[in-house]
Amino acid sequence: KAGVTQTPRYLIKTRGQQVTLSCSPISGHRSVSWYQQTPGQGLQFLFEYFSETQRNKGNFPGRFSGRQFSNSRSEMNVSTLELGDSALYLCASSTEGLTEAFFGQGTRLTVV
Amino acid sequence: GIQVEQSPPDLILQEGANSTLRCNFSDSVNNLQWFHQNPWGQLINLFYIPSGTKQNGRLSATTVATERYSLLYISSSQTTDSGVYFCACGVTSGSRLTFGEGTQLTVNP
């Protein structure tokens, strides 16, 4: 069974640009969550999607958005990039509710 | 929201030593997981353990939900055990996890 796949693995963007990250969950998993990891703030929850609906949202500005498709694949978008958005973005998938979450390899975003 | 605290923040061991990592949480949880973050950033699942005790090779974990803590035991440590260990907890419906700050483990040969 394939694991959680995130693309791209690495990304360099310029301030003010926007970026889209992709996450394909484990087959059969309908919940996809996104997390941001930075040295200063640690691992922080961004949002969770289940059956194409955002079910939970963390404390991030509106520049961070996401969506989920009917095949459970998810994308997150960050608009008007700031230097502080440089981070490792991790995606997790799970079956439903409070079950074990499995993480992808992450997308390392650098904003210059 | 729930607070998750891990201790110690840093731990340096000689190969072959045993260690105990602790995770305290501030509220009742329905989900608790331990992860090892590899050098490339991926979180590797170690245990899904909202309560009880589990063992997997040299690793074992215990969660005492009524006292709001979990312990991760590493026995006969190896250099490949080095890295950051995270505890993460979930309390609400949905899959939102709150992570601790992690324990940076270094195992020297």
Asked if the C-beta of B39 comes within 8 angstroms of chain A's C-beta atoms, the answer is no
Specify the DSSP class assigned to residue B50. S
Give the pLDDT score at B88.
Answer: 97
What's the rounded Cα separation, in Å, for the pair A46 and B36? 21
Q: Could you tell me what percentage of chain A is helix, strand and coil, using 3-state DSSP and rounding each to the nearest 5?
A: 5, 55, 45
**Which of chain B's residues have a Cβ under 8 Å away from the Cβ of A31?**
94-95
Asked if the C-beta of B65 comes within 8 angstroms of chain A's C-beta atoms, the answer is no
Asked if the C-beta of A11 comes within 8 angstroms of chain B's C-beta atoms, the answer is no
Q: Which two tokens stand for residue B19?
A: 């260690």
Q: Which two tokens stand for residue B69?
A: 């803590």
Residue A97 has pLDDT above 80, yes or no: no
Q: Provide the sign of the torsion angle of the four alpha carbons B80, A32, B88, A107, taken in this order.
A: positive
Asked if the C-beta of A97 comes within 8 angstroms of chain B's C-beta atoms, the answer is yes
Strand partners, A75: A22, A67
Whole-number mean pLDDT of chain B?
95
- Residue spans of alpha helices (H) in B1-109: none
Average pLDDT in the B2-28 region? 97
> How confident is the model over A50-72, as pLDDT tens digits?
999 999 899 999 999 999 999 99
Please measure the distance between the N-terminal and C-terminal CA atoms of chain A and give it in whole angstroms.
Answer: 37
- B95·A33 Cβ contact <8 A: yes
What's the rounded Cα separation, in Å, for the pair A82 and B77? 41
**Which of chain A's residues have a Cβ under 8 Å away from the Cβ of B34?**
none
Question: CB of A91 within 8 A of CB of A6?
Answer: yes
Of A7-21, A94-108, B3-17, B36-50, which range is least confident?
A94-108
